[in-house]
Amino acid sequence: MPDLSIVCANYYSALTAKTKQRKIFPCHMNEIIAHYAPALLAEGAVHSPPPAMPQATNASVTTTTQSALNRELALLAFNERVLEQARDADVPLLERLRFLCIVSSNLDEFFEIRVAALNEQILFDPNARGADGLTPREVYKLVSERAHDLVRAQYALFNDDLLPALAREGVCFLRRNHWNEAQSEWVREYFMREVYPVLTPIGLDPAHPFPRILNKSLNFAVELEGKDAFGRSSGIAIVQAPRALPRLIRLPAAIAGCDYAFVFLSSIVHAHVETLFAGMQERGWYQFRVTRNSDVEVEDEDMKDLREALKGELRQRHYGDEVRLEVAETCSDKIAGFLRQQFELDQDDVYRVAGPVNLVRLMQIPDWVDRPDLKYRPFIQSVPAQVAKQKDMFKAIRQGDVLLHHPFQSFKPVVDFIRQASEDADVLAIKQTVYRAGHDSELIEALIAAARRGKEITVVVELLARFDEEANINWAARLEDAGAHVVYGIVGYKTHAKMAMVVRREGDLLRRYVHLGTGNYHTRTTKLYTDFGLFTCHEDLCADVNEVFLQLTGLGKAGELLHLWQSPFSLHGNLIKAIEREAAHARAGKPAAIVAKMNALTEPQVIGALYAASQAGVRVDLIIRGVCLLRPGVPGLSESITVRSVVGRFLEHSRIYCFRNDRAYDVYLSSADWMERNLFHRIEVAFPLLDPRLKHRVMREGLRPYLKDNGQAWDMDTDGEYKRRKTRRGPAFRAQEHLLSSLVAR
């Protein structure tokens, strides 16, 4: 009798063979099996295999449609909070523009991943209901309405507030109809020299079908009248803007009329349309942009060489299924309908925008404009005294565990740690995970140098780190060329844990040194994200890290770890146990409290355990930057739970779990959010702070200021809506500003 998972997968593939469904990935099998298994088992067609993965433990209370919220709507709510930063007059003007661009970037990914997945759910089973009680079509309708509202608000802010304010400060975006003679002449010369030679206008007719449109590329639809030299008169043409062309062009100061003057590429091309279609009459010229499904998945049979299989998938990312069409607000109904038909989209998928179709391109403006008074004040990152006084990183770590709090403290000690290990003759081996490192990484260059020196270098590169796949493929190739051992973790489980281990000979001993972090080994983001990192040579912690590396590179059963909580094996179960222990303390009349900080909380059984703890009398304070599907403050369910989100200058990224545990105060740092993907489909670790001094420091810096924040914090109500906290009297307290004033170098 065939295996249940095989039959379900085959049945699913047959059902979706004629649709635009994506490939099956191992992490999707649970939902596929859950949907088709009951009928197939009832028919006796298959047998049910024993579970191959760790299963979630039973929480005391399960979520219901009354207690669950919707993840997609919660993501949009987060972006509404980010948009408020662009509205905030207390935020420097160029930073407000940057926040506006961040919203656009977030929305791009939202459509590429979340809306694309929602479309697949509609195809897969339109009548299925999620934990929130909604069908995929109902969710899509709500998402569409809210996303349209968000986009309208975004462009209204851009046009009515930010553009005039920037113009008053000498930062101007010159519209085509407002160019003076000198500006028009300069633009024409630029067009003929830089733009015209690389444009390929396509007049649509039977010999020129509608072209393939790259994901998120800038394009123009042109309505034309008249006949060309061959007597053709299709009436519609498409012009694709080559990716090599800049979308914003700065005019020379001598003719600009202001300190910083920029012209959009779309305006330049539009102004010279007669050059592209000689003798034809232009009746309309409209920007458009299509967003496509960009999730990358690889089938099991391709896993013989994951890197090569992934290269093929990345090439297809540019042409995935269409999920959104953005068109100029002035676009005629005829052209909008024509484009919608070409991309097989519904009316709700069309977003009319009052400005450039890609605001993300404006993200460069704050870097191009030399106006420090319109930006956040720069600061000098500090270094812990233990490291600053001791240039030898290994000696500093032997003196005691070292904690770094980014971005207030520098990431340089981490780079120094790997560089010194690379150059130290006594270091025998270095092992490290790489999830996101960027295209230019001092740290990986140090690993490459170490490999060339003949050291044993093992790097676990996560090739499926979304939107960083290409950079990671390139790093993997360079590391292999240098002689490093490069592996890609476990198929079906992203390696998201942030770990580095150095093995060093010291006399007759081999000593291990470890760095564990909540954030990526990416030097640029460590200046923008809040994260913690720990250096230690504690033997038991180092032994645990070594065990995880053995799992990632070899084969065998997972051993029991002494201190680390690891997904997919023990992290979820230990979380539930820690929450239930607080509930037991509360029932016994002891003080009980949980304070946790993370990016997202969506896992149903963790939410259920938190509800049960609240009913037992546990005080639960959650600091969740993004998506939270738990409803706080519901009478009889979650009365003692609060949820707040802090959105400010830095992206809140650290994950901290603090359990009072009577008076022990167990504090864990982690790379894992409380989400199903982190707890069951990724390799993650949560590591305890064993040094009481560092434990209290994390509570003092990573938790308490955020509970006190009344300047950048948002409180979530029982309906999942957020209200910005306001001070009643006196100056507002902002956690990030407080940490800047207390931690950065003076």
Check residue 241 and report its DSSP letter. P
Q: 20: which residues sit within 8 A by CB, 6+ positions away? A: 123, 321
* Distance between CA atoms of residues 36 and 49, nearest Å: 15
Q: Which of 28, 405, 406, 496 is catalytic?
A: 496
User: Could you tell me which of 53, 45, 56 has the C-alpha nearest to residue 4?
Assistant: 45
Say if strands 682-688 and 565-567 run parallel, antiparallel, or are unpaired: antiparallel
Q: How, if at all, do strands 498-506 and 427-434 pair?
A: antiparallel
Phi, psi of 125 (to 5 degrees): -160, 90
Distance CA 548, CA 561 (A): 9
d(CA 356, CA 260): 18
Q: What does the block give as tokens for 734?
A: 């902002």
Residue 228, burial from CB neighbour count under 10 angstroms (0-12, 13-18, 19+): middle
Between CA 249 and CA 241 the distance in angstroms is: 14
Residues belonging to the chain = 746
668 φ, ψ to 5°? -120, 145
As a whole number of angstroms, the distance between CA 151 and CA 153 comes to 5
The answer to whether residues 473 and 448 touch, using CB atoms and an 8 Å cutoff, is no
Burial of 198 (0-12, 13-18, 19+ CB in 10 A): exposed
Q: Torsion-angle region of residue 293: left (phi > 0), alpha (psi -120 to 50) or beta?
A: beta
Can you tell me whether residue 431 is helix, strand or coil?
Answer: strand
Q: CA 117 → CA 20, 72, 151, 360, 585, distances in Å?
A: 11, 11, 21, 23, 42
In angstroms, rounded to a whole number, what is the distance separating the alpha carbons of residues 312 and 319?
A: 12
| Known catalytic residue at 178 | no
Give me the residue label for tokens 């864990």. 668
Contact of 326 with 291, CB cutoff 8 Å? yes
In whole angstroms, what is the distance from residue 684 CA to residue 655 CA? Answer: 12
Query: Would you name the residues annotated as active-site residues?
Result: 496
